[in-house]
Structure 1
Amino acid sequence: MSLDAFAKWLPDNAIDVKRDDALKMAAAMAEFLAKPHVTSVKDLSPEWTVMWEKATRSFIPHGGIAESNEESVSPDLVLEELRLDPDRYAGIRRSALARKLIDGGSLSDHAPIDPAILRQELTRFRARNGLFTHSSLLEWLKENGLDAVNFEKLLEDEIRLDMAASSGRGLDRFIISELQLAGTYSALARRARQKRQALDGKVQDRRRPENRLQIMQARLWYFENLLERPVPDDIDHYARELGFAGVEALDRAILGEFTFQSMVNEGGKTGR
């Protein structure tokens, strides 16, 4: 058929395929809707996309709080609650460090470790585990399938992890993320809020001599009664290892906890 003949044939013989498809679809939908159906719920697995990742990261900052209200507390107070439980903090900190490294941190296993730093780490390790004699250390190594060389490598790894934690962007926001993901943020926030309300105006200036005595009393109570361990020889290092700005920040947190628990116990309730 020539082009001219096709042009004459088309107006009377053309078929609107899209229209026919639309009519068939409308008929099928009408037939479907005319029948009773029970809504089925299926597990959906949304696919990851770059745009979704950007959207979620921009909506709520990593390790941030979605919104604020009159009952909200600062994440710093939540972290303080966590740091007052050093064993729990240590576990969360390791998970947060892994999250930080995944997020773009780095961990070099080639940089040599200063022998003095290694000795300090060994001293802290022995103190944490009650290995105060050489024989107890050797027995611990034997029980855990370690020799001196492999044990030293483990200590070096711990030092490198600490270095990675203190480098670049801070670790606090990753700790917050871990708490949120585990669903434990709310309980810590609730306790921090209760403490803040109870202590409003109760903790006085720590620089006054009489309050220094109260701080020392609170220290002894915190370590020997609450944690059931001796007061650290290097209290400032202990404070910084737990993420406090220094010994003053630790003392402030301990005194607040001491005062709060005293008030709670007077009211016939339990502490932590």
Structure 2
Amino acid sequence: MNVCVFTGPTLAAEAARAELDDAVYLPPVAHGDVYRVARRRPAMIGIVDGFFERVPAVWHKEILWALSEGIHVFGSASMGALRAAELEAFGMEGVGAIFEAYRDGELEDDDEVAVAHGPAETGYRAGSEAMVNIRATLAAAVRAEVLTEATRSALEEIAKARFYPERNYADLLRQAAACGLATSELEAFRAWLPAGAVDRKRADAVAMLRRMRRRLETEPAPKRVDFTFEPTVFWEDVTLGAGVLDGDDEGSGGATTLERLLDELRLIGEPYRRERDGALLRALALEAAQRRGLVASDADAAEAADRFRHTLGVQEAGAFERWLADNHLDHPRFDELMREQVVIDAVRLALERTTLRGLADQLRLADRYRELAARAGAKARELEARGLPEPALDDAGSTREELLAWHFGRVGLPAAADFAGYARSLGYADGSALVRALARDFVYRQAGGESPLPSDRLADLARKLVDDLGRRAQEGAPEAPSGRRG
């Protein structure tokens, strides 16, 4: 996507390609569209047409951002001419007579370039005539000696007084006749019109595309501007609402923006609050990592990726590629996420004691404290009464493999190849600490009359665990040695 052009009723995409074939042609620009496209880093953006009435118009600040990011931005004919006249001093390039008229103050009203048009299915076909085109056509009729200057002036006044969707030559001639203008001139003008009508907007749009094509042939360096882009609260709102997550920046109308994604999450209630809080903690951890100068090594990032893919069950290449596509990610962004996860884990470890001190209060706020505290107390009392405050594997009557198989079966996860890493992710010092906790829980459940699993079933699960780990080892995944605790 080296060049992107927003066009519509002024110049259909098919006609535009005859002037600049190597471009992506998008619908009329609206609020947020330039930002979305600029995020893909095209060399150039051209703006011809834009929405302005039923949806918010393209914002000046998103054009300034694109310029500050080194993108050449051109405007002409319609919305592009308006924005170029306003932003020429900041580096936007205007092309054509309409742009010059706005820039020089000869034109001021936005309705000079506005037209009614059809939907996308019609190619945004114009349903009215732009005032700038009417002015140019009337001036040409005077030069051709079809109209007198007085009649031209009167026709301009009649056209300007009409609401922009109602401007067309047939209506203009009816209104002029009703106002008593000379019938002979009006009939001469009517006969002259088909061939004599001037489409100033189209001509300017074509001129812009030709300039962009010539500029591309020179392989221009990134745009340089002499201003510093200043983000604001309003700019943050634009980027939040306009940021595309699925890469669909080409005007299909079905792009997944963050705001649309948030709507779906908000509508299911509690998960929004939970995931929002998780995102907050992630952002705070990344800030803390930056302050501490933490950077993930390639090896650590690769290890984090292996653990993540194992947790999701997408170790196989095809399954992983499908997961990336489903989550609108590419490999570089996934690698970035894993590097972020490494430094977040480092911050979590550094702040472990502080975090754990606050965990009881977090459980109270989540209304989970009473349930877990009651179970912890009951477990401690039962094991003390049995003289087994810290049961060993022998007390549980199970092997380490059986205990692990029981645990992973209970939590509904595949057996972790990197068991020590899995244990650390749960806040245990090592795998042995988790095994001891599992032994306490297993014995407690047995003491309470609960049969975790029949012994033959445990043996089956343990064999399956060993087989799975062996298979993963052959596939290249790291295996936790079964003959060693931790």
Identify the TM-score tier after normalising by the shorter chain. Answer: 0.5 to 0.7
Give the equivalent residue in structure 2 for 1:218: 403
Please, which of 90, 113, 120 is the counterpart of residue 296 of structure 2? 113
More helix by share: 1
The aligned counterpart of 2:421 is 237
The reply on whether 1:136 has 2:322 as its aligned counterpart is no
Take 1:206 and 1:265, find their aligned partners in 2: how far apart are those partners?
19
Residues 179 and 121 (structure 1), Cα distance of their counterparts in 2 relative to 1, 3 Å cut: same
Amino acid aligned to 2:289: L
Task: Report the alpha carbon displacement of residue 97 of structure 1 after superposing the two structures with TM.
Answer: 8.8
Deviation at 1:139, TM superposition (A): 0.3
SS at match of 1:183: coil
Structure 2 match to 1:262: 446
Superposed structure 1 runs of 4+ greater than 3 Å apart: 94-97, 99-102, 109-112, 202-205, 210-213
Q: In percent, how many aligned pairs have the same letter?
A: 26
Deviation at 1:169, TM superposition (A): 5.8
- Kindly state the Cα deviation for residue 164 of structure 1 after the two structures are TM-superposed: 1.0
8 A Cα contact 1:215 1:251, kept in partner: no
Partner of 1:172: 356
Name the SS of the counterpart of 2:437 in structure 1.
helix
Check whether the contact 2:380–2:389 (CA below 8 A) recurs between aligned residues.
no
Deviation at 1:253, TM superposition (A): 0.8
Stretch deviating more after TM superposition (156-165 or 122-131): 156-165
Q: 1:204 to 1:146 in 2, by over 3 A?
A: closer
In structure 2, what residue type is equivalent to 1:263? A
| 1:168 Cα deviation after fit | 4.5
In structure 2, relative to structure 1, the CA distance for the partners of 1:173 and 1:204 (3 Å cut) is closer
Q: Which has the larger radius of gyration?
A: 2
User: How far, CA to CA, are the matches of 2:361 and 2:379 in structure 1?
Assistant: 22
Output aligned runs, 1:45-64, within 5 Å.
none
CA shift at 1:135, angstroms? 0.7
Q: Deviations over 1:238-268 (max 9, x none)?
A: 111111122222111101111122233449x
**Structure 1: how far apart are the matches of 2:379 and 2:396?**
21
Is the contact made by 2:395 and 2:443 (CA closer than 8 Å) also made in structure 1? no
Structure having greater relative contact order (Cα 8 Å, sep ≥ 6):
1
How many residues align? The count is: 171
For residue 221 of structure 1, report the CA deviation from its aligned partner: 1.2
Task: Report the AA paired with residue 108 of structure 1.
Answer: Q
Q: 1:173/1:95 Cα in 2 relative to 1: closer, same or farther (>3 Å)? A: farther
Aligned alpha-carbon RMSD (Å): 3.2
SS in 2 for 1:257: helix
CA displacement 1:208-265 (0-9 Å, x = unmatched): xx458625232221113x1233332222221111111222221111011111222334
Unpaired runs of 5+ residues, structure 2, are 1-273, 452-486
Shift, 1:202, TM fit? 3.4
1:206 paired residue among 380, 384, 392: 392
- Structure 2 SS opposite 1:220: helix
Note the residue ranges of structure 1 that are not aligned, 5 or more in a row: 1-90, 268-272
Q: Which secondary structure does the structure 1 equivalent of 2:325 belong to?
A: helix
Contact 1:179/1:185 (CA < 8 Å) preserved in 2? yes
Matched, 1:197 2:384: no
Does the C-alpha gap of structure 1 residues 143 and 205 become closer, same or farther in structure 2, counting only changes over 3 Å?
Answer: closer
How many Å separate the matches in 2 of 1:96 and 1:187? Answer: 27
